Amino acid sequence: MTDPSAANPPLAAFPNLRIAALEGDGNAFARLTYPAYRSFLAPVDMGTVAIGAWIGDIPAGLILARSLEEGTALLSVSVASGWRRCGVGGRLMEALAAEVPAGERLTATYSSRLPARAAFEGLLRRQGWGEPVLQSMRAAGTPRAVLEWAEAHSPALRVLRGYGLVLWRDATPDDRAEVERLIAAGAIDADFSPFAMAAQFEHWSDNSWMVRRDGVVVGWMFARLEPPDTVWYHGAAVRRDIEHIGPLLLMFHRVHQVAAERLGPDSTWRIDSFPRTPAMLAFMRRRIATFASFVDELYRVDRPPG
């Protein structure tokens, strides 16, 4: 979908190349963007920045962006197959940058599973954009893979002496008071409040846990059962000063023991990270990606204002 050329050839190399903003009906360029974005071309509205490239009268490229409160978001850039590696993508990127008001942020988000990821990242680099920053992750797999990993790496779990697991539904008043204290003190982010999570979705009460250290609650993990055989993780947190020790892994392992018993070892688990949570992203990359059969990372890149 992107132009991986190393440099933009001089204009003379393309005597019939024309680049201009689209107005009115842009359906002639619809094949040059993703189906989900084609409605922005019919017609091109006030919130859309659509710039086309023509070779003669033939649509040869398209860059599409949307104006948002926080700036302009690049949605897609694509060049027809016969004109790739010719600098057309770079010209489209330059035209988009010229449309963005001075000082306004221009940003792009994309998946690690983007088929043309390497070409897209190369295009951004050549246009002077910043480095990709990981925003969020999704992962999926089976309890079997988790339990096999745990069996092969059992020392990682055995070292957690002094830790114990209790179902969240069995939390005592002292446990709940300690949770509130941890959040108030900033030891665990308020976004991971188990009280808020319990109010937002119906968790699997037989498989949502808290972890205690020397009898005092230090973290929790909530799961939701999606029939017939999928477990979703909607939130997990531990005290910041012990994130590196492994209590999250202890809870994750226990959830999969229960899932394997109740749903079968080849049932499915899925987990989505929370936004702006470096510790959770680090845990998913370091641990969960090891035994996941599916991983999708969402990256963000900003163009420096200019």
Structure confidence by residue, pLDDT tens digits, 99-119: 998 888 999 999 999 998 999
Q: Which of 1, 9, 3, 70 is nearest to 37 (CA)?
A: 1
Which residues lie across from 168 on neighbouring strands?
none
85: left (phi over 0), alpha (psi -120 to 50) or beta: left
Which segments of the chain belong to CATH 3.40.630.30? 11-129, 137-302
What's residue 2's pLDDT?
44
The pLDDT of residue 162: 79
pLDDT at position 5 is 38
* Weakly modelled stretches of the chain, pLDDT under 70: 1-15, 154-160, 275-276, 306
Q: Within 10 Å of residue 157's Cβ, how many Cβ atoms? A: 15
Class of the 11-129 domain? Answer: alpha beta
The Cα–Cα gap between 221 and 277 comes to 15
Taking phi over 0 as left and psi of -120 to 50 as alpha, with beta for the rest, 177 belongs to alpha
Do 107 and 73 touch, CB atoms closer than 8 A?
Answer: yes
In contact, 105 and 65? CB cutoff 8 Å: no
Fold of 137-302: Aminopeptidase (3.40.630)
Distance CA 98, CA 76 (A): 17
- The confidence score (pLDDT) of residue 160 equals 67
Q: Residue 137's pLDDT is what?
A: 94
Please give the pLDDT value at position 102: 83
- pLDDT tens, position by position, 255-267: 999 999 999 999 9
Q: How many CB atoms lie within 10 A of CB 70?
A: 9
